[in-house]
């Protein structure tokens, strides 16, 4: 946004200050302006115009710095800078920087302020993290320190090969190399690099400027370095360092010639960036000490393997192959950057900062160019591409029916278009037509006629022969009743009695299509789609306006049944026989031995702060249908566990617990198991520990699997809705109401209630609860026992009588309640469809009512019951896997 705003503002001053506008366009880096002039007058004039341009935009330029004392004094007069701007460092004590590089204004040189890096390394740790932090603290965008920085890059690569964490200690061999490099860092502060490439050259004319780029590679790295070679009028020659780039070799081992080629590519890319940045007319020369690399660059790229070809093509795109030369490895300055060196050797090495000595001499002293023929080298070295010879035979006849297999196409329009393109190609080869561009209507109609002819002659070959000879088909022909005849273009058409009607020719005499042809199926499918997936009658009526298919109604029904879109809407859910009741539902067990649990709510209760939510925890006995209600202040695992402890303390410990797949219950199951382990280990609460609970979850979205407790949730809600109305109770009041609701629902009849007083009374859950606790010391009829005395015979007699009552109660439970359950679902889905199988594609019923929004899934696992009936499946969808009951699955029969 800032750059766009500045450019927009500068365009308004192109006519007023053309030179300054052009200068700013090329010299702005984000919010900094970097530039210069060869004399003070021009520099002052440009700076004042810059101030005026940006002042008009509401932007004030500040922090002006220069290496000219005369220009600084002029700025002071104009209040552009303060009087202390001649200092070498900023008022904060930090050195002046130009785009992040430290600048000494008095010497007009660049240097590296390594004080912060030295301070950091003084408390260093020999770890991967510390090493990476040290690399990030060296800012050298031009590449002056390339050979020195390469050493720590190679060290980092070696560390990455080891299974070390960020703060693990480095091995001893790597620690020694790391410490040696750190000890050399202070020497970087002694380096001084002239800022201006053409310094001390103002009084001497320049005749020519050349850019020389050197590249080299080793097994560990490859690099390039660039120099400017400046020729003066007095025949003096000077070379200056411009930039360098180093790259660590890939972990995947490459041959040395390939690495040399990558160094050459790096050299070409660097030269492109330098020419673009300097905006000078430069003559480029590229040097490498690899004859194989020169052979590749000067050769034909397509002859070599893809790795070589791709890089040579980019090199040729950026440079000219004639500009590449050979130089010996000893005089190649990029050898330092490809192997690494110490800061002291780098500082005292003039070759790195000025290039080889022969570069300051005339071209006759340059290295000899040996254009040796490398064809004799091993093919592995030169990496030629394998050549394949293709033999093309003309004049052979191709059968179009074999060229295009009708069964391979699922779209009629694609079949016609492919056929039309092939026919156009053949005609163009034979020079019959010169048509170009998109296919025409005539070409598509020709393709349709072609396939109709092919299919008719293949299926009705005898009829064609008879019609060509006699003029009518035989009586035993399947087409005899249709009165067929040969129409235009040799197409078999149906006769009829509408010759003199005003219908079209296709309506009066439709084209006969073979009923078992693949083309017929494609035509029916295409017309069905064109009619927006209309029904059978709609599709058949549209087809008969042009074609006649024997027994066409059956064919249309068959094709529409295979339509995936129509099947999504017409698919019916899978079904299964109602499963047998599990043993824990029909076994004679104490109340709540097998139970189900569910949450209901929230219900708001009042407290001192206002209102809060509360939840009902409902426990249902699977055998006697008895009910137990608890009120929980929150719907959390801790709250549920408290309610569960109250439940087992009052009703006895259950062994089997059913619930849906709410996260609360799943987490509770894990915590109950963990509590059981802890208590067993500590030998504490032996009674609770010895009675482990088996927790069973019903399948996801299959609420009817837990119907024995879901039905009572509805009953509890109905009672509370009628009793509470809009009343707001306290937590204690609501707990009391729930206890009364529990008592009322436990007194509901389980069996039929007769009008005749002589018939037996119905079973009630409360009757089973009175005999629930085997360790209860309170008899049923306590007053009668007291009246009869407490003698041993009377107590034994009373105990036997109670046992008889319990036995009669369970007998009545079996004969009346269980027998009623036997016939409850006798007539429901007696003839279920075939079981869903693995790899079946199904439509999964979702929350959306539209089937178009339901997801597709593939069955990856089925869960059959004891009777072999599959009632739930594990499905693979685009979002993962899920489990669903078969009643929510719609098989698509793909």
- Per-residue pLDDT averaged across 770-785, rounded? 49
DSSP 694-730: EEEEPPTT-GGGGHHHHHHHHHHHHHHHHHHTT---B
Between CA 26 and CA 380 the distance in angstroms is 48
Alpha-carbon distance of 629 to 736, in angstroms, equals: 11
8 Å CB contact between 348 and 329: no
* Token pair belonging to 198: 């053409």
pLDDT at 93: 45
CA–CA distance, 400 with 398 (Å, rounded to integer) = 6
Given a cut of 80, whether residue 812 has pLDDT beyond it is no
Three-class HEC string of 318-367: HCCHHHEEECCHHHCCHHHHHHCCCHHHHHCCHHHHHCCHHHHCCHHHCC
* Max avg pLDDT among 651-655, 803-807, 819-823: 651-655
State pLDDT tens for residues 398-435. Answer: 455 567 888 888 889 999 999 999 989 988 888 888 88
* pLDDT tens for each residue of 430-456: 888 888 889 999 999 999 999 998 988
**pLDDT digit string, tens, across residues 78-87:** 778 765 555 5
Task: Report the alpha-carbon distance of residue 133 to residue 182 in Å, rounded.
Answer: 13
Q: Which of 517-521, 688-692, 706-710 has the lowest mean pLDDT?
A: 688-692
Does residue 740 have a pLDDT over 80? yes
Q: Which CATH architecture has domain 586-749?
A: 2-Layer Sandwich (3.30)
Contacts of 141 (CB under 8 A, 6+ apart): 99, 100, 101
Would you list the domain boundaries of the chain?
A: 1-88, 98-195, 204-371, 443-568, 586-749, 840-891
Phi and psi, residue 659, nearest 5°? -160, 170
Q: For the residues of 263-288, what is the DSSP string, one character each?
A: HHHHHHHHHHHHHHHH----EEEEEE
pLDDT score, position 739: 86
Q: Please, are residues 75 and 81 in contact by the beta-carbon 8 Å criterion?
A: yes
- Answer for the pair 366, 229: CB distance below 8 angstroms, yes or no: no
Provide the whole-model pTM.
0.48
CB 496 within 8 A of CB 458: no
Confidence of residue 257 (pLDDT cuts 50, 70, 90): very high
User: Do residues 324 and 268 lie in contact, with contact meaning Cβ atoms separated by under 8 Å?
Assistant: no
**Which pLDDT belongs to residue 655?**
81
Burial category of 439 from C-beta neighbours within 10 Å (exposed 0-12, middle 13-18, buried 19 and up): middle
The lowest-confidence range among 355-364, 469-478, 571-580, 787-796 is 787-796
**Cα(733)–Cα(729) distance, rounded to whole angstroms?**
6
Encode pLDDT of 171-215 as tens digits: 999 999 999 999 999 988 888 888 887 765 545 678 889 999 999
Per-residue pLDDT tens over the stretch 463-478: 888 888 777 888 888 8
Contact (CB, 8 A) for 492 and 476: no
Distance, in Å, from the CA atom of 800 to the CA atom of 777, rounded to the nearest integer, reads 15
- Provide the pLDDT for residue 77: 79
Question: What is the pLDDT averaged over residues 270-296?
Answer: 91
Q: How many residues does the chain have?
A: 894
Smallest CA-to-CA distance from 698 within 708, 689, 688 is with 708
Q: Is the CB of residue 509 less than 8 Å from the CB of residue 487?
A: yes
What CATH number does domain 443-568 carry, 3.10.290.10, 1.25.40.10, 1.10.340.70, 3.40.470.10?
Answer: 1.10.340.70
707-724 and 731-746 are packed helices; what angle lies between their axes, rounded to 10 degrees?
120
Q: Is the pLDDT of residue 379 over 80?
A: no
Q: What is the percent of the chain where pLDDT is above 70?
A: 83
**Encoded tokens for 699:** 């399948």
pLDDT of residue 780: 47
Same fold, 204-371 and 443-568: no
Query: Which of 107, 116, 108, 4 has the alpha carbon at shortest distance from 57?
Result: 4
The CA dihedral of 404, 406, 411, 417, to the nearest 10 degrees, is 30
Q: Which two tokens stand for residue 843?
A: 């439509």
> At the topology level of CATH, where does 204-371 sit?
Nucleotidyltransferase; domain 5 (3.30.420)
Q: Which residue shows structure tokens 């750059």?
A: 3
> Is residue 681 very low, low, confident or very high in pLDDT (cuts 50, 70, 90)?
very low
> Residue 263 has what pLDDT?
96
pLDDT tens-digit series, residues 853-878: 788 888 888 888 777 788 888 888 88
SS (H, E, C) 601-653: EEEEEEECCEEEEEEEEEEEECCCCCEEEEEECCCCHHHHHHHHHHHHHHHCC
pLDDT at 683 over 50: no
- B/e letters for 333-364, b = 16+ CB within 10 Å, e = fewer, are bbbbbbbbbbbeebbeeebbbbbbeebeeeee
Whole-angstrom distance, CA of residue 519 vs CA of residue 458: 12
- What are residue 782's phi and psi, to 5 degrees? -65, -40
The DSSP element (H or E) to which 97 belongs, if any, is: strand 97-98
Q: How would you label 699-710 residue by residue, b for 16+ Cβ within 10 Å and e otherwise?
A: bebbeebbebbb
The 10s digit of each residue's pLDDT in 594-608 is 888 888 878 888 887
> Hey, which of 436-440, 581-585, 621-625, 721-725 has the most confident mean pLDDT?
436-440
Query: Does residue 390 register a pLDDT over 60?
Result: no
| pLDDT per residue as tens digits for the range 656-679 | 888 877 544 444 555 444 434 433
> What pLDDT, on the 0 to 100 scale, is given for residue 825?
55
Position 794 confidence tier, pLDDT thresholds 50, 70, 90: low
User: Among all chains, which residue has been given the structure tokens 């492919």?
Assistant: 418
Rounded to whole angstroms, what are the CA distances from 283 to 21, 207, 229, 298?
29, 12, 9, 19
Q: Percent of the chain having pLDDT more than 90?
A: 19
- 300-356 tens-digit pLDDT: 888 888 999 999 999 999 999 999 999 998 999 999 999 999 999 988 888 999 999
DSSP state at residue 170: P
Farthest CA pair distance, the chain: 143
- Say whether pLDDT at 807 is over 60: yes
Cα separation, 514 vs 455, whole angstroms? 7
Specify the range with the lowest mean pLDDT, choosing from 263-267, 833-837, 851-855.
833-837
Instruction: Name the band, by pLDDT with cuts 50, 70 and 90, for residue 687.
Output: very low
How many whole angstroms separate alpha carbon 411 and alpha carbon 399? 22
Residue 221 or residue 664, greater confidence: 221
User: What per-residue confidence (pLDDT) applies to 248?
Assistant: 95
Strand order in the sheet with 694-697: 627-632, 610-621, 594-607, 656-659, 694-697
Predicted pLDDT at 450 = 92
Per-residue pLDDT band for 388 (boundaries 50, 70, 90) equals low
pLDDT for 394 = 45
Per-residue pLDDT at 774: 42
Query: What is the rounded average pLDDT of the residues 529-534?
Result: 87
Q: Given this model, what pLDDT does residue 483 score?
A: 83
Q: Is pLDDT above 80 for 370? A: no
Sheet holding 870-877, edge to edge: 880-885, 870-877, 855-864, 841-844, 889-891
């Amino acid at each position: 946004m800032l750059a766009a705003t500045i450019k927009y503002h500068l365009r308004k001053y192109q006519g007023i200050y053309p030179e300054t506008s052009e200068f700013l366009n090329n010299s702005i880096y984000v919010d900094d302006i970097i530039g210069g002039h060869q004399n003070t007058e021009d520099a002052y004039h440009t700076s004042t115009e810059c101030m005026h341009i940006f002042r008009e935009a509401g932007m004030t330029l500040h922090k002006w710095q220069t290496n000219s004392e005369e220009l600084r004094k002029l700025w002071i007069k104009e209040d552009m800078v303060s009087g202390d701007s001649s200092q070498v460092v900023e008022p904060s004590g930090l050195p002046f920087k130009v785009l992040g590089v430290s600048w000494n204004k008095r010497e007009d040189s660049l240097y590296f302020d390594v004080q912060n890096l030295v301070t950091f390394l003084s408390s260093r740790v020999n770890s991967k993290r510390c090493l990476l932090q040290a690399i990030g603290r060296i800012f050298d965008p031009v590449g002056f320190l390339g050979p020195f920085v390469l050493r720590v890059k190679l060290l980092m690569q070696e560390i990455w090969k080891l299974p070390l964490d960020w703060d693990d200690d480095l091995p001893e061999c790597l620690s020694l190399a790391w410490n040696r490099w750190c000890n050399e860092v202070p020497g970087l502060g002694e380096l001084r690099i002239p800022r201006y490439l053409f310094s001390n050259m103002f009084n001497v004319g320049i005749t020519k400027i050349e850019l020389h780029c050197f590249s080299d590679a080793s097994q560990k790295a490859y690099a390039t370095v660039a120099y400017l070679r400046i020729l003066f009028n007095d025949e003096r020659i000077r070379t200056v360092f411009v930039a360098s780039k180093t790259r660590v070799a890939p972990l995947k081992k490459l041959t040395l010639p390939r690495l040399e080629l990558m160094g050459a590519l790096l050299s070409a890319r660097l030269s492109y960036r330098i020419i673009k940045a300097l905006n000078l007319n430069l003559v480029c020369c590229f040097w490498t000490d690899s004859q194989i690399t020169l052979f590749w660059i000067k050769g034909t790229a397509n002859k070599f393997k893809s790795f070589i070809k791709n890089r040579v093509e980019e090199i040729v795109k950026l440079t000219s192959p004639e500009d590449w030369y050979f130089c010996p490895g000893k005089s190649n300055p990029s050898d330092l950057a490809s192997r690494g060196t110490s800061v002291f050797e780098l500082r005292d090495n003039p070759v790195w900062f000025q290039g080889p000595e022969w570069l300051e001499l005339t071209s006759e002293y340059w290295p000899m160019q040996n254009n040796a023929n490398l064809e004799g080298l091993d093919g592995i070295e030169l990496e030629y591409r394998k050549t394949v010879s293709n033999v093309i035979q003309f004049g052979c006849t191709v059968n179009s029916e074999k060229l295009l297999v009708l069964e391979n196409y699922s779209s009629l329009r694609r079949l016609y278009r492919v056929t039309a393109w092939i026919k156009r190609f053949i005609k163009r080869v034979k020079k019959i037509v010169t048509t170009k561009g998109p296919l025409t209507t005539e070409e598509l109609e020709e393709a349709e006629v072609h396939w109709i002819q092919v299919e008719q002659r293949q299926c009705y070959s005898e009829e064609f022969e008879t019609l060509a000879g006699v003029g009518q088909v035989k009586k035993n022909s399947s087409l005899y009743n249709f009165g067929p005849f040969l129409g235009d273009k040799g197409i078999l058409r149906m006769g009829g009695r509408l010759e003199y009607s005003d219908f079209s020719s296709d309506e009066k005499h439709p084209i006969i299509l073979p009923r078992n042809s693949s083309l017929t199926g494609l035509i029916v499918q295409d017309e069905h789609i064109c009619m927006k997936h209309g029904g059978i009658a709609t599709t058949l009526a549209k087809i008969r306006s042009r074609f006649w298919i024997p027994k066409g109604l059956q064919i249309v029904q068959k094709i529409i049944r295979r339509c995936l879109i129509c099947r999504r809407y017409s698919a019916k859910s899978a079904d299964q026989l109602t499963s047998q009741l599990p043993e824990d539902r029909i076994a004679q067990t104490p109340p709540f031995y097998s139970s189900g649990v569910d949450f209901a709510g929230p219900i708001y209760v009042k407290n001192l702060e206002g209102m809060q939510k509360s939840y009902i925890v409902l426990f249902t006995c699977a055998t006697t249908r008895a009910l137990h209600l608890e009120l929980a202040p929150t719907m959390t695992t801790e709250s549920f566990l408290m309610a569960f402890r109250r439940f087992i303390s009052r009703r006895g410990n259950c062994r089997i617990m059913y619930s849906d797949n709410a996260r609360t219950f799943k987490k509770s199951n894990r915590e109950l198991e963990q509590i059981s382990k802890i208590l067993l280990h500590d030998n504490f609460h032996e009674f609770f520990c010895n009675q482990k609970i088996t927790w069973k979850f019903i399948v996801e979205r299959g609420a009817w699997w837990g119907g024995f407790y879901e039905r009572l949730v509805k009953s509890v809600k109905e009672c509370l809705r009628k009793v509470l109305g809009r009343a707001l109770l306290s937590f204690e009041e609501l707990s009391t109401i729930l206890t009364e609701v529990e008592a009322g629902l436990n007194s509901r009849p389980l069996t039929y209630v007769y009008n005749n007083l002589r018939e037996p009374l119905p079973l009630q859950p409360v009757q089973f609860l009175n005999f629930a606790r085997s360790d209860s010391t309170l008899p049923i009829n306590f007053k009668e026992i007291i009246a009869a005395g407490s003698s041993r015979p009377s107590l034994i007699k009373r105990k036997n009588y109670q046992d008889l009552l319990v036995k009669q109660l369970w007998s009545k439970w079996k004969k009346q309640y269980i027998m009623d359950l036997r016939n409850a679902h006798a007539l429901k889905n007696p003839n279920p469809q075939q079981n869903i199988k693995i790899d079946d594609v199904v439509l999964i019923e979702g929350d959306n009512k539209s089937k178009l929004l339901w997801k597709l899934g593939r069955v990856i696992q089925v869960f059959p019951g004891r009777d072999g009936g599959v009632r739930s499946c594990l499905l693979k969808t685009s979002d993962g896997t899920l489990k669903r009951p078969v009643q929510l699955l719609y098989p698509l029969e793909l």
